Amino acid sequence: MVAALVAALGLTGCGNGGTRFVNPGSPSAAPGPTLNVNPADNATDVPVSVEIAPHGGDKLTGVDLADPAGKRITGKLRDDTSSWVPDEPLAYATTYTAKVAGSTAAGKSVTRTTKFTTMQRPANRMDAHLYMTDNAVYGQAMPIVLEFKQGGVAPADRAAVERRLFVSTEPAQPGVWHWDSNTQVEYRPKEFWQPGTKIRGRLALGGLPVGGGRYGKQDITIEATIDSVARVIEVDNATKQLTAKEDGRVVKTMPVSLGKPSHPSFSGTMTIMEKMAKTTFDSSTYGTPVNSPEGYRTEVQFAERLSWDGQFIHAAPWSVAQQGNTNVSHGCVNVSLENGQWIYNWTKIGDPVIVKGTERHLGQGNGWTAWDLPWDEFVKGSALPTAPTAGGSPSASPTPTPSATS
């Protein structure tokens, strides 16, 4: 056995100039650097709101994303380059290929290709409503107001949702979102909008996890304009007078009657939310039976809503004798029929109404209350730690193209 082994070794060592041992081959090349990105390669059940994001100290410079047919998905990097955001939600149950470019934590420029598959369409989806209409013109105090349905968004989930609410303006004005409650979030700049401001927004909720096992139903996009004329209504309980100003100039004054002591009007900075040439006020909608001592069902004209719980400016010909001297309403700002029609024709939704000197103050979230807080307090209502930016959004710019996901 030993002799045979020695003979074998001898044979492998002989030959015409051969080497003593057979070379098994060159050693494998060391793996090169790679980008660390999410979603991971071959990830499944990925939300259609996915953003391509680096991690582990790596940085992103660009993404080329395509669907199975090779169609390119457009998108853009966030301003802080923390992720790449598709311009609209991806399709459900679809495999995408991402060619990602960036640099490693060590500063090496690299690219990589990954694939991931999106989730099936979820059954539990949350609706949202934007109180703005495309291409409409609004007053200078018009906040961007988003209302969430099906229980809204809990505090623990607000930051993730807020990061997907993209706003840009022209000219650029610093702005921020403020959560009034689980169901209402408002966006405003530091000061009233500049006349003629163009507003563009993409509220990118389509397929976004919003907590409680729910997902946003669809993206909402908006393009709107602030009027070139700055109007403001000021109401003073001490004088029982309403003053209408246009570009800082008084254009009309009129007497008013405000809420009686048992139903005082709100003080504060409010916004005209809704305008109705004719409507019916019914106390039962606010919990007071029509046949009770404080109940009523009344036809009114030229009504302009100031709060969710039913305070309006409106024509009240029945209280003309008290207007200018005595408060007799259930909280509304009463004016004459002639003056009510004038205000109705003069104002736009989004105009500010400032009421002062009454017995109680406006409650936060009871209407569009964005302007009733000092700027420093308003900023504290954001779920994000970042300061507002001049572009309006601390994130990727929005796209005006509506989402195909519904």
Catalytic residues: 314, 332
What is the C-alpha to C-alpha distance for residues 265 and 104, in angstroms, rounded to an integer? 61
DSSP 257: B
Q: Is residue 188 within 8 Å of 147, Cβ to Cβ?
A: no
DSSP label at residue 119: P
What tokens does 154 get? 């809990």
Contact in structure between 178 and 158 (CB atoms under 8 Å): no
| Spatial contact of 35 and 111, defined as CB atoms under 8 Å apart | yes
Beta-carbon contacts of residue 284 (< 8 Å; ≥ 6 apart):
290, 295, 297
- Which of 130, 347, 129, 351 shows the shortest CA–CA distance to 223? 130
Are the CB atoms for 38 and 82 separated by under 8 Å? Answer: no
Cα–Cα distance for residue pair 112/204, rounded to 1 Å:
27
Going 364 to 370 to 372 to 374, the CA torsion angle's sign is: positive
What does each C-alpha distance from 245 to 227, 229, 258 come to in angstroms? 14, 10, 20
E strand segments, 6-74: 37-38, 43-46, 53-54, 59-66, 72-73
- Per the CB < 8 A criterion, the answer to whether 237 and 358 are in contact is yes
**Parallel/antiparallel/unpaired status of strands 209-211 and 214-216:** antiparallel
Complete DSSP assignment for 235-255: EETTTTEEEEEETTEEEEEEE
Q: Please report, as a single letter, which amino acid is at residue 226.
A: I
Pairwise CA distance, residues 292 & 334, whole Å: 22
CA distance linking residue 49 with residue 205, whole number of Å: 7
Stretch (H or E) spanning 137: strand 137-138
Cβ(325)–Cβ(240) below 8 Å: yes
